[in-house]
Amino acid sequence: METIISYDRSLQTSLKSSLDRDHWKYVMDQWDQKNHKAAILGTLDYINREAVNKYGNPEKTEFKIPHGSIIIEIKITDTEFIVNAPFLGLPEGPKVPLLRQIAQLNFHPLKLSNVALENDRLTFEYKGPVDTCEPYKVYDILSEITYYADNHDDEFIKKFNAKRLYDPEVIFYDAQTVEKSWERFNAIVKECKDYIVHFETKRLPYFVWDIVSITLRKIEYYLSPQGFLRFELEKNVNDMMNQNLNINDKINRGKEFIEKLSTYDRKSFEADLYKPVIFVPYKTSSSLENVKKSLESNLSRFNEEYNRQDLLGAAFTGLYAIYDLFYIYDMQDDIRICLETALESSQGKTYSEACTIYKSTFDQIQSGNFNNNAFVTSRSDNKDNNDARSGGGFFKKIFGN
């Protein structure tokens, strides 16, 4: 328990985004020239040109694009931008509990779209004049609809017996990959439980927050699960970051969820293990600058702990920082390789060795010069400080001393 946790490379062969960042200037130029229809179509190409070409009509005015378990219906006229996404059918039994949840969605968090009921079908909708649909707004409309529709359908089906309107267009993994994923999923959860016991025995309870938060992001990185498992992972990640909860509640909720994962049903696990066809990416597209910006807070904490030889705290702050970047971003290849090399190189290493690896990794990101064979895994002037403070790692950055 005095070493860094294991590493499992993501099942995804590529973590790059479908967003075409180079196309955005063209989109904004069209908008500035008041070519509103062209700007909207350009925004669709920016999001996912392959899907636009595959699922649109020859005139590029109407589209029916699959995204997970929904289909996004888009219509662009000379005057209007219209989006519909049939969501769910009402259950045969009690309908009020589901409709209450829909009403809550419409109140918050939906800001641009809304869910309407017609003929026992719930549909996400947006309709507006093209000259009010500037590119950022178009992206936000489609992102909002795809995220909340795909994020809540499995939840509402499971909780309220809502009816699925479409079978998701997905790519399933082969039997060998599924078997290995199930084994590693259970091993990851068990490893987390072992570290929880270790930190509680050592009277370092705040590190329980660290290991649970890291483990949730690690599972998402490794498996990229879909369906209800993805919904539950995201919910618990948000709970662990919720500033309105006190620390004991965060830790207890995290431990309860890890315990729940340790008894997770294999059939449910396999049902949520697939690669969906996606139109709007779930995550932000990475660039060196936005990755550096997202790293700032964690890097400041890492350097502070590292410089005062709090190697236990620095190691977990560094590990958290890397998995958090993968949780936030669809990652470009050069940064992905840098971060994955750090994770692979640091697994099983002492805190001192891991800190040296993470420091090299963060230095490479700050400079933009990547040399993934440059890690030195030992440093004679560092000693592991396993008697570090009773609260630390990323947790201390959030909650203070």
DSSP characters over 80-135: EEEEEEEEEEPPSS--HHHHHHHHHHHHTT-SS-EEEEETTEEEEEEEEEGGG--H
For the segment 186-214, the average pLDDT, to the nearest whole number, is 97
Q: CA–CA separation, 292 vs 260, rounded Å? A: 35
Rounded to an integer, the average pLDDT of 24-50 is 98
- Choose among 316, 369, 376: nearest CA to 338: 369
Q: At 180, is the pLDDT very low, low, confident or very high (cuts 50, 70, 90)?
A: very high
CATH fold of 21-164, please? Yope Regulator; Chain: A, (3.30.1460)
Residue 336: per-residue pLDDT: 97
How confident is the model at residue 69, as a pLDDT?
Answer: 87
Q: Is the pLDDT of residue 127 over 70?
A: yes
Q: Say whether pLDDT at 104 is over 90.
A: yes
Say yes or no to pLDDT of 205 above 80.
Answer: yes
Residue 382, pLDDT score: 38
pLDDT at residue 185 above 60? yes
What percent of the chain stands above pLDDT 70? 93
The pLDDT tens digits of the residues spanning 14-27 come to 888 999 999 999 99
Instruction: Tell me the pLDDT tens digit for each residue of 249-302.
Output: 999 999 999 999 999 999 999 999 999 999 999 999 999 999 999 999 999 999
378 with 356: CB under 8 angstroms? yes
Residue 4 has pLDDT above 80, yes or no: yes
Which tokens in the block code for residue 52? Answer: 């636009």
pLDDT (mean) for 51-58: 97
Residue range 118-130: mean pLDDT, rounded: 97
Confidence of residue 376 (pLDDT cuts 50, 70, 90): very low
pLDDT of residue 372: 61
Rounded mean pLDDT of the chain?
A: 92
Identify the band that residue 373 occupies on the pLDDT scale cut at 50, 70 and 90: low
Helices (H) and strands (E) in the chain, counts: 14, 10
210 three-state secondary structure: helix
Interval 311-326: pLDDT, tens: 999 999 999 999 999 9
Q: What is the mean pLDDT of residues 168-181?
A: 94
Q: Are 6 and 183 in contact (CB under 8 A)?
A: no
The answer to whether residue 398 scores a pLDDT higher than 80 is no
Q: How many CA atoms lie within 13 A of 101 on its CB side?
A: 17
Give the per-residue pLDDT at 400.
38
Percentage of residues in the chain having pLDDT higher than 90:
88
Alpha carbon distance, N-terminus to C-terminus of the chain? 24
Q: What residue type is assigned to position 110 of the chain?
A: L
Give residues with Cβ within 8 angstroms of 255, minimum separation 6: 196, 208, 212
Q: What's the mean pLDDT in 137-159?
A: 94
Q: Which amino acid is at 193?
A: K
Handedness of CA 12, 18, 22, 24 (dihedral sign): negative
Question: Which ranges of 224-349 does DSSP label H, i.e. alpha helix?
Answer: 227-241, 247-262, 266-271, 288-307, 311-328, 333-346
Per-residue pLDDT, 374: 53
Angle between helices 206-223 and 227-241 (to 10 degrees): 150
**pLDDT score at 385:** 40
pLDDT tier, 167 (very low <50, low <70, confident <90, very high otherwise):
confident
Cβ atoms 95, 107 nearer than 8 A: no
Domain ranges of the chain: 1-17+173-401, 21-164
CB under 8 Å to 178, separation ≥6 — which residues? 270, 273
Residue of 168 and 270 predicted with greater confidence? 270
Length of the chain: 401
Q: Measure the CA–CA gap between 381 and 349, rounded to whole angstroms.
A: 16
- What is the band of 13 on the pLDDT scale with cuts at 50, 70, 90? confident
